[in-house]
Amino acid sequence: MYRDSVEVDELKHPIQVKRLALMTGSGGAGRFRGAPGSILEYGIKSNEMTVIYPGDGHETPPRGV
Return d(Cα 16, Cα 22) in angstroms, integer. Answer: 18
Which parts of the chain sit beneath pLDDT 70?
A: 1-2, 55-65
Question: According to the model, what pLDDT value does residue 58 have?
Answer: 64
Question: According to the model, what pLDDT value does residue 26 have?
Answer: 80
Long-range contacts of 52-59 (CB under 8 A, 24+ apart): 54/1, 55/1, 56/1
Question: According to the model, what pLDDT value does residue 64 have?
Answer: 67
Question: According to the model, what pLDDT value does residue 57 have?
Answer: 60
Domain ranges for the chain? 1-65
